[in-house]
Amino acid sequence: MTVTEGWSWRIVADAGELSSAPEELPAEEAQEWCNFVLWRPTLLPDGCSLLTSTLRKEAPPGHREGATGRSPWSDANNAVYRSEIGGPGRRLRIKQFLYDWAFPAADHPCLWGSATRPEVLSGGQVLWFGTDYLGNAATSARMSRTTVELSVLEGEFSDAELVALHNGFVPSGDDVVERVLRTPFHELSYWARYPVSMVSVPTGLYSFKRHDRVHTGTWVPRGELDGFLAAHDAPSAPGGFVAESAATFTGSSGEQETEIVYVRADIDGGELRLVLQRTGKGRIPFPPERENHPAVTEEIGLDGQLVHLAYIDPVLGPFDAQWSDATTGVEGKLMSSTHEGLTREVFLSALSTVVA
């Protein structure tokens, strides 16, 4: 088992013991192998059935000779669950996992670079519609921290069908949602628990990437978090979001950032990610540089501080804010996930506490 409190899950002890391919396994049995909430569909589109469901189990870094279904860009063996649903002339794939090697860019990284639009689900989560990197019609949602990515492989599915499919998701365990949300991010995260190479990907609407492939993050043990926050003059609960994990990332040339994860269980694990650096000493470009994902930008004054703000939807975000405080010599970046309860007003309230 991995953690002593909150959620715990099973792990294959050695990469060499992994099966040669992802295993066919129903969600109810696969849940105990996942470091995330595994969502089971109960409302399938008309004429469709569940065709296949496979689990890639977690194991320490390393690849088994001849194994398939593993990421070619990393030695990581993180847990991933894939399902296919289909009927006459149409088929879709659903992929579920904990996106934990970086902050999920725009809260829907699989749709990166395409124009996206949101639809609020019955549980308050946001389903994003767009186009994935293969050019397929696709959606993405974060549900109790789980990244749920859907790609249309054949034929067509209406927006209403995809919304209904997501509204019909149920967790694959009676108390799994509560237990996962009680477990700090760094105790769930594969990349926080193993010294695997980092993945350089976009993290927000303003550019910020860690280009070093080497493992650079040092996560703070649970009992040392309060002292870490105090030492970095960071708030413990901005806007009702509670700090639960923090790390220091150091690049090969000495660049360094502090990163803090804030969550709110009352809005389905809604997340804020704060990144701080000494002026010019980290990898956050300042003035901000826009990423190539469609978004709106503006400049606002907040408690006397100029803040650069980017977002996709004016109410739901996701929001990406950057500022540079000449008085303290600190540059900051605050990013949000999306949820019906994580509005612009809620985000700016938290941001005000952080900036102050």
Query: What is the DSSP track for 275-312?
Result: EEEETTSSS--SS--B-SS--EEEEEEETTEEEEEEEE
User: Would you state the structure tokens that stand for residue 14, as one six-digit string?
Assistant: 């050695």
| Separation of first and last alpha carbons in the chain | 41
Between CA 320 and CA 126 the distance in angstroms is 17
Contact 195, 159 (CB under 8 A): no
Between CA 109 and CA 329 the distance in angstroms is 31
Tell me how crowded residue 26 is: count the other CB atoms within 10 A of its CB: 13
DSSP tag of 198: P
Tell me how crowded residue 46 is: count the other CB atoms within 10 A of its CB: 7
For residue 306, report the phi and psi dihedrals to the nearest 5 degrees.
Answer: -75, 125
For residue 269, report the phi and psi dihedrals to the nearest 5 degrees.
Answer: 75, 25
Give pTM, 2 decimals. 0.95
Instruction: Give the pLDDT confidence score for residue 199 in this predicted structure.
Output: 80
Between CA 185 and CA 191 the distance in angstroms is 10
Question: Residue 290: CB partners within 8 Å, gap ≥ 6?
Answer: 205, 206, 207, 297, 310
Secondary structure E strands in the chain: 23-24, 39-40, 49-56, 80-87, 90-97, 117-120, 126-131, 137-143, 146-154, 170-171, 217-219, 242-250, 256-264, 270-278, 296-302, 305-313, 317-325, 330-336
Contact 60, 77 (CB under 8 A): yes
DSSP tag of 210: -
**Angle at CA of residue 30, ends 27 and 35, nearest 5°:** 115
Reading phi first (left if > 0) and then psi (alpha if -120 to 50, else beta), residue 317 is in: left
Instruction: Give the pLDDT confidence score for residue 2 in this predicted structure.
Output: 42
Digit-coded pLDDT (tens) for 243-302: 999 999 999 889 999 999 999 999 999 999 999 999 999 999 999 999 999 999 999 999
Low-confidence ranges of the chain (pLDDT < 70): 1-4, 64-73
23-24 β-sheet, strand order = 23-24, 49-56, 80-87, 90-97, 146-154, 137-143, 126-131, 117-120
**Angle at CA of residue 269, ends 264 and 272, nearest 5°:** 65
| Bridge partners for 118 per DSSP | 128
Digit-coded pLDDT (tens) for 290-308: 999 999 999 999 989 999 9
> How many whole angstroms from its chain centre is CA 265?
15
DSSP tag of 15: G
Instruction: Give the pLDDT confidence score for residue 213 in this predicted structure.
Output: 76
256-264 β-sheet, strand order = 217-219, 242-250, 256-264, 270-278, 330-336, 317-325, 305-313, 296-302
Q: Which candidate, 348, 178, 134, places its Cα nearest to that of 268?
A: 178
DSSP tag of 175: S
Between CA 13 and CA 65 the distance in angstroms is 16
- Indicate the burial class of 136 (C-beta count within 10 angstroms; 0-12, 13-18, 19 or more): middle
User: Would you state the structure tokens that stand for residue 10, as one six-digit string?
Assistant: 């099973």
